[in-house]
Amino acid sequence: MSIPQSLLEQSIQLNIQQALQEDLGDGDITAMLSPENEYASATVLSREHMILAGQPWVNALIQKFDPTVEIVWLKQDGEAVAAGETFLKLQGKARSLLSIERAALNFIQTLSAVATKTAHYVQQLEGLHTKLLDTRKTLPGLRIAQKYAVTVGGGQNHRLGLFDAFLIKENHIMAAGGIAQAIAQARQIAPNKPVEVEVETWDELDQAIEAQADIVMLDNFSQQQMIDAVKHVAGRCKLEASGNITLDNLALVASSGVDYISMGVLTKDVQAIDLSMRFSK
């Protein structure tokens, strides 16, 4: 999946509006300690290695709050930033720089953390056929932002939400009366949307193949079972591995030949990058 530009832009605007509201409320009373017409410069550096992500959010945030602030990016999204390296310079009214500092850094530290982690995991798949996918296990309100960051880190997006692809699981199968029935109904509901089915047994795998699922998710299959499944499917559908996959066994799972590995850890278990903004007059 790829994020439609219209959805990306809409999400950015929603995110920055919420960020400014929750941080500034009726106004930044502390920034008023600085004279109204005083100007300043600021540099932003990372205290640790990272893959930069979040530029569109920071640009939109500053444009919304004070478009007179000059923004100079020394690195672009997707580029590596070394520990101690400056990657952003700002110049403008001191009050504006003080007011947008935390909101801007929050976006960069969170999205760069996702991109950095994703890049680390993607490295384990170098030279292998398998692609790394994210999931819907994202921070509330930051779904599109985090999925954007995954792509910056070299990963790929699974479905963006419940609207752009089918993922038929046990409860859906039960409600529809079986795998074949669920897939048939999905084709009627949205003929152009991808249909994926999660299976737990070999028999369910065969049912999904027979019903012509686009993708089959192998839930907690053993390594040998995945190897056998790849041979058995023989390209009739795409295969995705999920469940009990870690950084340590990621390459091993990929060596089975599955097309995709999906991991919620890329977005739900994120440790923010340590950043610093330094001011000068």
Instruction: Return the active site residues.
Output: 102, 137, 169, 198, 219
Helix, coil or strand: residue 45:
strand
Looking at the DSSP bridge assignments, the partners of residue 217 are 198, 240
Which amino acid, one-letter code, is at 13? Q
**Number of helices followed by number of strands (H, E) in the chain:** 10, 12
- CA dihedral defined by 85, 88, 90, 96, rounded to 10 degrees? -100
Helix, coil or strand: residue 273:
coil
Q: What is the DSSP string of 198-248?
A: EESSHHHHHHHHHTT-SEEEEET--HHHHHHHHHHHTTSSEEEEESS--TT
Sequence-distant (6+) residues with CB within 8 A of 177 are none
The structure tokens 């439609």 sit at 4
Pairing of strands 39-46, 86-93: antiparallel
CA distance 136 to 134: 7
Q: Which helix or strand (DSSP H or E) is residue 93 part of?
A: strand 86-93
CB neighbours of residue 129 within 10 Å: 13
